[in-house]
Amino acid sequence: MEEQYKPSKYIGDYLDYLKYERALSENTISSYRYDLKSFDLYFNKEVLNLTYDDISKYLDSIKGLNSRSVAHHITVLTSFYGFLFDEKIINNNPTDNLKNAKIAKKLPVYLTEEEVNKLLDLKLITPYDYRNKAMLELLYATGLRISELVNLKINDINFNECYVRVFGKGKKERIVPIADVALKYLSIYINEYRNKILNGTISDYLFISNNLKNISRQGFFKILKKEVDRVGIKKNVSPHVLRHSFATHLLSHGANLRIIQELLGHEDISTTEIYAHLVNEKLKKDYQYHPRNKKGE
């Protein structure tokens, strides 16, 4: 009897990231899982130890597939190893120099300001409602990654100076200002409702789950999905979509791209430039209404 395949722990972590942080569809995750299983089975060693040459050898072995399938494998592998590198699990990304048939980057999904306002208009009754309101307001006000949000400690919030201290990828520290509305609901949650959720227990974490630990990525994802469904937003909204919305709205209101890079904790400005493309696409779309543009007739 054939031994059942057990994926690398890191592949499992990556697929969880796609599900709970990026909110990709089950079909997309299944396609990534399928390609990663094929890749994992090809080698008799841990995926962390594979080199550029190993990965090139694997890609040579699948050249018989159609070009779209090969391109999908490349996309999956560069995304997977990009995740491992960003999470500081590996120090060097072996897919950096892959001669990829250039696949156009998809522009990220973001919410309009009207959609964000609908999402943040929660009905506040229970302590958990106030916690959820504070989390969502803070996420949109700061553009934090969900992993950064759920690991915040109560002492990371500075109410006097109106900022949050964030430990991002690789434990790199940055200071992010907090907007007035988010500060208001953080204060209400901390001063009036957090201790009710803790029910006599002690925790340094800012956002507490109903099992008295810090809220998990999965827990936040479920809360976000419930609120998105409640207000009838049809987009596929993940925690990352709020991060994209934060950056896009700042840029469209005139913020400097370098400042947005710093607020998001991007090491490379090219990562942040995707938001300029988003704003440019919207400008192009709106420009059709110019009276001398035939498309606007």
| 266 in catalytic set | yes
Residues 90 and 113: their CA atoms lie apart, in Å, by 37
- Strand, helix or coil for residue 24: coil
Q: How far is CA 195 from CA 123, 131, 149, 160, 189, in A?
A: 20, 11, 19, 21, 9
Helix (H) or strand (E) holding 175: strand 173-177
Residue given tokens 């201790």 in the structure block: 195
Burial tier of 58 (Cβ tally within 10 Å: 0-12, 13-18, 19+): middle
Residues belonging to the chain: 297
| Distance from chain centroid for Cα 108 | 10
72, 118, 174, 266: which is the annotated catalytic residue? 266
Q: Of residues 275, 287, 290, 295, which has the active-site annotation?
A: 275
Of 22, 243, 244, 249, which one is the catalytic site residue? 243
Catalytic residue among 145, 194, 217, 249: 145
Residue 200 belongs to what H/E stretch?
A: none
Cα dihedral 201/202/208/209 (nearest 10): -40
Q: Count CB-CB contacts under 10 A for residue 129.
A: 14
Whether 244 is a known active-site residue: answer no
Active site residue: 165, 174, 196, 240, which one? 240
Catalytic-residue membership of 169: yes
92 phi/psi in degrees, rounded to 5: -130, 140
Confirm if 137 and 241 have CB atoms less than 8 A apart.
Answer: no
Check 169, 184, 225, 282 and give the catalytic one. Answer: 169
Q: Please name the residue that has the structure tokens 């553009």.
A: 143
Instruction: For 66, list phi and psi in degrees, rounded to 5.
Output: -70, 160
Only one residue has tokens 């089950």, namely 26
Catalytic-residue membership of 275:
yes
Residue whose C-alpha is closest to residue 81's, from 30, 21, 40: 40
Question: What's the rounded Cα separation, in Å, for the pair 187 and 191?
Answer: 6
Is 243 assigned a catalytic role? yes
Residues with catalytic function: 145, 169, 240, 243, 266, 275
